[in-house]
Amino acid sequence: MSDLAQRLRQLGVNKGIGELASSRQAARAPKRVDQALPPGQQIETPFGVCFFIEERYPLQHIHGRAPLSGLLAHDRSAAAQMATVSEEPDGGELPAFDLSQALFIDTETTGLGQGAGVLAFLIGVGYFEEAAFVLRQYFLRDPAEETAALNHLTEWSDAYAGLVSFNGRGFDVPLLRSRCVLSRLRPSILDRPHLDLLPPSRRVWRGRFESCALGSLERHVLGVQRSQDDIMSWLIPDLYRQYLRGGDNGEMRQVLYHNAVDILSLVTLAEQLCRLFAYPLAEDVDPRERVALARWFEALDLPEQAETTYRVALEGWLPIQAQHLALQRLAALLKKQERRPEAVPLWVQWAMEDEGSVEAHVELAKYYEWHTQELDKALAWTQQALTVVAKWPRGPRRDDARSELDHRRARLETRIMNAQSG
């Protein structure tokens, strides 16, 4: 054997691509599994070997404040209703599907973008079985195992009804679809109904916490406490590159833990959202959540549920802005139903409490001018509105409001004078 051939063979270069791939897997995979990863399964596929780790949780397992089984108690239409008013660009209504037949999915990648060089080196999927919740994590011990992992996931996941994710529509699914295209695979699961929990989470909790990221919701809403085994998500891409270079001090186990908690939190978050949607008047629901849910019911054209939820929210403590929003939305809902007399006390309360707005004053002026013909009251509310506007900073907003109110005052004064002379 020549010196060059011997050196190539020592580097793992053999005759044929197949021999090269098998040589790399034989040389690297067993070492990786033994030293850096928990025990897992190696599965032969038409594209080579894939590796995954699987763990089973009893349905009574408590994650945060709720057992995993809690999600199974909710009506299957809840997922469809939650996604109907999503913030996704494609919009539309999500077909109802049983969450017990869904795959909960989350990926860890080599970057934040979706370019051709970004790899999903860890694909975590969770699913319910008869007596357990199963967590399966496909891990690429070598990038060459990607097609085998995607192929196995594609064939195995075909039996499931849909996906549940957190920002999966914006990141995980487009990335997986592009990787499958590169591998010439067509996974039907990526085209099934998809409940992304990020938009409904924003609808309920936006503005209440520092962010609506999953970690923030775990701390403030779900009661999930991660252990010291967790790792910051922004470190993960570099740690995987270090792993591929042969250096690993247990960080991949931390990455696997991080991914596993993400998926378990998807179940708990879905249960919390379904519960809020089904029971907005429950004692443990925060009044601020009720205001958000009432607006949600409005968007779904459920006026009775929206009205009841607004009224109960106003009975509890609300920050001043949330209270004004609830008064405004409830009054608008009643006005839309031609129930203006019921809206009057709401407008009065709003006008007396909110010194930065004259919308309630104008609504009252309109009501008394056109619906009860009490022109003196209409004029009084118009004059109060002018007093409020006079305190605003100079600018187009103040000028426009004053012009409109002056016009209204002049008209009312003329009508009152004509009525008196007549």
Q: What pLDDT is stored for residue 85 in this prediction?
A: 52
User: How many Å apart are CA 325 and CA 228, to the nearest integer?
Assistant: 41
Residue 209 DSSP label: S
Q: What pLDDT is stored for residue 24 in this prediction?
A: 40
Q: What pLDDT is stored for residue 113 in this prediction?
A: 72
Instruction: Note the pLDDT tens digit of each residue in 113-122.
Output: 767 789 999 9
One digit per residue, the tens of pLDDT, for the chain of length 422 reads 445 445 434 444 443 333 333 334 433 444 444 467 999 999 999 999 999 999 999 999 999 999 999 999 988 777 777 766 554 444 456 677 789 999 999 999 999 876 778 999 999 999 999 899 999 999 999 999 999 999 999 999 999 999 999 999 999 999 999 999 999 999 999 999 999 999 999 999 999 999 999 999 999 999 999 999 999 999 999 999 999 998 787 899 999 999 999 999 999 999 999 999 999 999 999 999 999 999 999 999 999 999 999 999 999 999 999 999 999 999 999 999 999 999 999 999 999 999 899 999 999 999 999 999 999 999 999 999 999 999 999 999 999 999 999 999 999 999 999 999 97
Q: What pLDDT is stored for residue 4 in this prediction?
A: 46
The structural domains of the chain, with segments of one domain joined by +, span 19-278, 287-421
Six token digits for residue 134? 């199963």
Tell which CATH architecture fits domain 287-421: Alpha Horseshoe (1.25)
- Tell which residue, 336, 359, 338, has the closest CA to residue 347: 359
Place of tokens 């209409």: 378
Instruction: Note the pLDDT tens digit of each residue in 351-374.
Output: 999 989 999 999 999 999 999 999
Residue 83, class by beta-carbon neighbours within 10 Å (0-12 exposed, 13-18 middle, 19+ buried)?
buried
- Sequence-distant (≥ 6) Cβ neighbours of residue 348 within 8 angstroms: 360, 364
Q: What pLDDT is stored for residue 399 in this prediction?
A: 97
- Sequence-distant (≥ 6) Cβ neighbours of residue 118 within 8 angstroms: 109, 110, 111, 112, 175
Pairing assessment for the beta strands 41-45 and 48-58 based on DSSP bridges: antiparallel
Contact 379, 415 (CB under 8 A): no
Instruction: Please compute Rg for the chain using Cα positions.
Output: 30
pTM, full prediction = 0.88
Which H or E run includes 127? strand 120-128
Residue 240, class by beta-carbon neighbours within 10 Å (0-12 exposed, 13-18 middle, 19+ buried)?
buried
Tell which CATH architecture fits domain 19-278: 2-Layer Sandwich (3.30)
